Structure 1
Amino acid sequence: MAAKDLTTREWINALIEPGYLLVWALRYYVKVNLETVFCKGQILAPLLHQSRVRDEAFGKFWVAFSTYLQANAPASPPPTQPPDQIIRSSDLIPPLLARASGTVLDVGPGTGTQMPLLRSPAIKAIYGAEPCHGLHAELRASATSQGLEDKYNILPCGVESADLIPALQRQGLLKTDASDVPSILETLSTTREGVFDTIVCVRVLCSVPDMHRTVQDLYNLLRPGGKMLVVEHVVNPWRTPKGSVIARAFQAFYGFMGWSWYLGNCCMNRDTTSALKHAADQDGGWESAELESWFESTPMPYVAGILTKRG
């Protein structure tokens, strides 16, 4: 399938749109640094506590950006949409999240903009792993507004195993007496029991420190027959006919200008598709891997689809 063909004007807009996002995030970074120094009197914090300041700046930026997205989103996103009518990455999300069921891991939910798509009665419980504490209030409010306060559990951690595994233990989701993370991961890999029926990854694998390790660990957390629902932006496939050398150059330019620094460690140049496909090699591959590429001529090409673990 292919997305709606872009006109020349739409393509040019697609090239420069990430620049607007970068400037927006930069403004919040500068603002938070100034407030920290001149309002809070923490003169050395921008140097000695960079991680905390960046986390606060990104949190405030993402709340503002999410509010903007919600204000400009359709009143009720259609569950399915013909390929030639898909004009933005958000159009890829509803049909995928409609497939979520059972116990769900929501990876990096941010402020909960996808919350309206997780109200299916087929979902028993949702665990949102969100490391940015500045987003938790908005995330909790989103769950309440959608009537999911009894289903949605916020895990104050990243998706890296060193953070996630202890958080799952505290929730009583891991049935193991092992205390060290490597042993638990080895047990999960060997027994293939898993924890989750569905794992949702929407624009998050771009920012984890070790993507290949993270994807592998997420695979091990899937129960047999479990599904990984993915909508991720990836490196431009500029060596292929559908890719674009110009768009790839824009990705490199935005990276040079500090994209990762100001936007929560997000990387624009990751081969996420390959990492996802190879995550199941230890078990002979996925039962099915329905992944499609979208917007391949832009600096924000996407891969989206469903990967199902062998039963």
Structure 2
Amino acid sequence: MSYSEPTTKEWIRSLFEPGQLLFWAMTYYVRENVDAVFRRGQVLAPLLQTTKLRDEAFGKFWVAFSTTPSDEPGPQQSLLENRVQGSSDLIPPILARAEGIVLDVGPGTGTQMPLLVSPNIKAIYGAEPCHGLHAELRAKVEAEGLAKKYTILPCSVVASDLIPAMQKEGLLINHNAGGGVFDTIICVRVLCSVPDMNRTIRELYTLLRPGGKLLVTEHVVNPWMTPKGSIVARLFQATYGFLGWSWYLGDCCMNRDTETALKKAADRDGGWESVELDRWFGGSPLPYISGVLTKKGTPFGPWDM
């Protein structure tokens, strides 16, 4: 797919769009605090339950954000025009490569669900720690006819949470060192918010079967020291971080070098079989990497557990 460099007007708009998102998230946090004090009578909640209120506010914000129509052209229109116009356009061609037994990391409200209906997918396990998003996620699963294929795991992808949830579903019965469990692992806009990104990516790597694929579409630190980056956009990233981006937006970090962490995850096995990663939107505070990383080895037969 092709990508046209933005006009000056579009570039300036891209610099301020994350600020609008941050302000929107802030209003939900303020509203949640006001409700706690004046509607529920929890006068000290803003001081004693800060994290709880923040998480509840983010859950409500994310439901609203993910269900609000965008004014940008939809991915289907962009695909027809064979042009990438926004980050959502990067997702369909990547998820089209999902197959076998799939781990969907942080599916949120299930906005990617229509892209996971391929007959090549045997089963999907969605690890979503925010319980406030489960109702919307379950509704999307049912709407797409995936109720028999999709299982919601009420946990994060931190090993101490994920492994017990997987064991409960019987997923580790034949698991062995290096053997892996999943044929495909999907990471779409989630690695920015895991507590320890490097460790999480290494753990996800071990869960891939030989020949398994890690499908990635993630926003990353602006590569401002390269020709594809922008020092202005990097400064905007730092400014949004100072204003509380991570706090109000579910621990999301704008300045992670996700690409390097992904490539290093396979070092113990001599690297990945293949790494197909492209960079996009280098002039924006929300630049992206998108692509597929394939684990060395020969895939196991017809996805037998």
TM-score (norm 1): 0.91
The Cα shift of 1:22 comes to: 0.2
Match of 2:169 in 1: 171
| Counterpart contact for 1:201–1:232, Cα < 8 Å | yes
Cα distance in 1 between the residues matched to 2:291 and 2:201: 15
Q: How does 1:42-191 map to 2 (within 5 A)?
A: 42-69=42-69, 74=74, 76=76, 82=82, 85-175=83-173, 188=176, 191=177
The Cα shift of 1:149 comes to: 1.1
- What is the root-mean-square deviation in Å for CA atoms of aligned residues? 1.8
1:7 maps to a residue whose letter is T
Consecutive aligned runs of 4 or more in structure 1 exceeding 6 Å deviation:
70-73, 77-81
Match of 1:250 in 2: 236
Identity of aligned residues (%): 66
1:223 is the counterpart of 2:221 = no
Larger CA deviation: 44-53 vs 146-155: 44-53
1:250-279, Cα deviation, whole Å (9 max, x unpaired): 000000000000000000000000000010
- Does the residue aligned with 1:109 lie in a helix, a strand or coil? coil
Using a 3 Å threshold, how does the CA distance of structure 1 residues 241 and 70 change in structure 2: closer, same or farther? closer
The Cα shift of 1:43 comes to: 2.0
The Cα shift of 1:53 comes to: 1.3
Determine which of 176, 195, 198 is the counterpart of 2:184. 198
The Cα shift of 1:18 comes to: 0.1
Match of 1:307 in 2: 293
The Cα shift of 1:241 comes to: 1.4
- Does the residue aligned with 1:267 lie in a helix, a strand or coil? coil
The Cα shift of 1:281 comes to: 0.5
Match of 2:199 in 1: 213
1:297 is the counterpart of 2:283 = yes
Cα distance in 1 between the residues matched to 2:205 and 2:46: 37
1:142 maps to a residue whose letter is K
Match of 1:179 in 2: none
Match of 2:23 in 1: 23
Using a 3 Å threshold, how does the CA distance of structure 1 residues 144 and 124 change in structure 2: closer, same or farther? same
1:11-60, Cα deviation, whole Å (9 max, x unpaired): 00000000010001000111111111211122222222222211110110
Using a 3 Å threshold, how does the CA distance of structure 1 residues 77 and 226 change in structure 2: closer, same or farther? farther
Cα distance in 2 between the residues matched to 1:194 and 1:74: 35
Unaligned runs of 5+ in 1: 177-186
Larger CA deviation: 225-234 vs 63-72: 63-72
| Counterpart contact for 1:77–1:94, Cα < 8 Å | no
- Does the residue aligned with 1:68 lie in a helix, a strand or coil? coil
Match of 1:236 in 2: 222
Cα distance in 2 between the residues matched to 1:161 and 1:44: 34
Cα distance in 2 between the residues matched to 1:70 and 1:9: 18
1:95 maps to a residue whose letter is P
| Counterpart contact for 1:203–1:232, Cα < 8 Å | yes
Unaligned runs of 5+ in 2: 298-305
1:64-102, Cα deviation, whole Å (9 max, x unpaired): 1011147976385676863xx201000000000000001
Cα distance in 1 between the residues matched to 2:209 and 2:80: 26
2:91 maps to a residue whose letter is I
The Cα shift of 1:3 comes to: 2.5
Cα distance in 2 between the residues matched to 1:205 and 1:296: 19
